[in-house]
Amino acid sequence: MKEKTTGFEGAPNWLTRQRIALYSACILLMELVYLAIRIDGAYVRKIPDFFALGWDFAVFWAASLVTLHGPASNAYDVALTEPIVSALEHAAHRPFPAPWVYPPTFLLAVKWLALLPFAWSYMLFTVLGMVFSGFTWNRILAAPSLSSWLPVLAFPALWITLLSGQNSLFTFGLAAASLVLLDKKPALAGVCIGLLAIKPQLGIVFPLVLLAGRRWRAFSAALITVGVFCAAAGFALGFETFSKFIAAVPQFSKLTVDVNWAGGMPTWFGIARHFGASPIAAYLTHAVMAAPSLALAAFLFAIPSRATLRAAVVAPATLLCQPYLRGYDFVWLALPIAFLILDARRHGWLKGERAVLVTVWLAPLVFFFPPNLQPALWLPPIMAILAGIIFRRARMVTHLIPPVMSETTDDSAEVRTPAAHDVPAD
């Protein structure tokens, strides 16, 4: 039986399999030290305003608590949720409120969180997210050993998500499942896409690419899933929650425009605002800079491109078109990394690609840097370069790319992912 590999066989000496494991272990050790510092500051020394673990999950838990003890629309009442959140975060003097601005679909999913004490609920939520995302990752790029899992476990964006208690592991899992299933089980892929209604801005690229690729079954299934999900949330929580949500969105949008985010907002909009652009000029700049990645995603789905490249382009296009992002959203960068490694296993590497993927993997570390360095502003250019190498790989004629002939290269991963070439539209 052929040995399963990481996909970096044939790499230069500085990027051997052993060094990947070693460097990942070093990063993981640093993240564990950071975790220990957070625990010591928040729970042992009890430093004022030193955020406790699960600072974003606190918003979910507070929304669940007020929903369980009153109308679901109370989740959108900052006066009710803010004291709960501040107490859970160990932050007595927050610079701005932490409102619930998620749609009723997500409120329906997390309504039950407060049935458990905060700490237990946070741990259960985190474990379920890791299991779900880990399962879907393994469906893309099987990791046969602990050394193969080290880069996954050490991925900086994963730790940002775990520490904050965000829902990114669930949205990652849904996006990954939809891309894996799209060619073979389009209706089920559409259901996964529809469930992204828990955080609808992250599903914005999928309708575009499904229409461009004439994936009618997946598109119809996604549309029906969203409709059923919204109806279920309306009947369970009250349809007035939708009006509360619609009212909360512009208020939060104003907050994102007005606040000087520590470390910078990692979007084209954030870069423009950092350099003094007005909100309107920043939004226009953002639209112009995000358009190429959206066009690339639509183009790859419209032509007979390889499925791995179509799957790889969705995440950078999704992230680049968002005017508001935080560190935990960059868990999605694991998707293009995985699909490009898989494509390289089958067709070989092009010059500079491995260096770009290493940079993309390391990029979320910027959120651990001192905020005064404005490190997050580097993220959009890095993602644009990532989209560029996907485009370069897609435009190469397959037979011109030297195949990977390593004895240890494993092609069995094809059964775990979409077919290597386009299939007829459904």
Q: Is 158 exposed, middle or buried (0-12, 13-18, 19+ CB in 10 A)?
A: buried
Q: Judge whether 203 and 197 are in contact, CB under 8 Å.
A: yes
Average pLDDT of the residues in 388-404: 68
List the one residue out of 225, 236, 203, 242 whose CA is nearest residue 76. 242
CA distance 355 to 341: 12
Average pLDDT of the residues in 227-237: 96
Backbone angles phi, psi at 401, to 5 degrees: -90, 120
CA distance 105 to 258: 28
Per-residue pLDDT tens over the stretch 116-145: 999 999 999 999 999 999 999 999 987 767
Q: Judge whether 316 and 176 are in contact, CB under 8 Å.
A: no
Q: What's the mean pLDDT when you consider all of the chain?
A: 86
Average pLDDT of the residues in 375-382: 89
What local confidence, expressed as pLDDT, does residue 286 receive? Answer: 95
Average pLDDT of the residues in 197-210: 95
Residue with tokens 């461009």: 212
Q: What's 370's DSSP letter?
A: -
Q: How many CB atoms lie under 10 A from the CB of residue 381? A: 13
CA distance 98 to 58: 9
Q: How many CB atoms lie under 10 A from the CB of residue 100? A: 27
Q: How confident is the model at residue 244 (pLDDT cuts 50, 70, 90)?
A: very high
Give the tokens for residue 143.
């990791």
What local confidence, expressed as pLDDT, does residue 241 receive? Answer: 95
CA distance 271 to 259: 14
The DSSP line for 74-109 is GGG-HHHHHHHHHHHHT-SS-SS-------HHHHHH
Per-residue pLDDT tens over the stretch 322-378: 999 999 999 999 999 999 999 998 888 888 899 999 999 999 998 888 776 667 888
- Label residues 177-210 b or e (16+ Cβ within 10 Å = b): bbbbbbbebbebbbbbbbbbbbbebbbebbebbb
Average pLDDT of the residues in 171-193: 96
Average pLDDT of the residues in 138-160: 87
CA distance 406 to 145: 19
- Among 35-39, 144-148, 162-166, 202-206, the range scoring the smallest mean pLDDT is 144-148
Query: 426 Cβ partners below 8 Å, 6+ apart?
Result: 186, 214, 215, 216, 217, 218
CA distance 62 to 139: 34
CA distance 172 to 129: 9
Share of the chain above pLDDT 70, in %: 85
The structural domains of the chain, with segments of one domain joined by +, span: 13-416
SS3 266: coil
Average pLDDT of the residues in 379-398: 88
Average pLDDT of the residues in 185-209: 96
Q: Is the pLDDT of residue 426 over 80?
A: no
Q: Is the pLDDT of residue 166 over 90?
A: yes
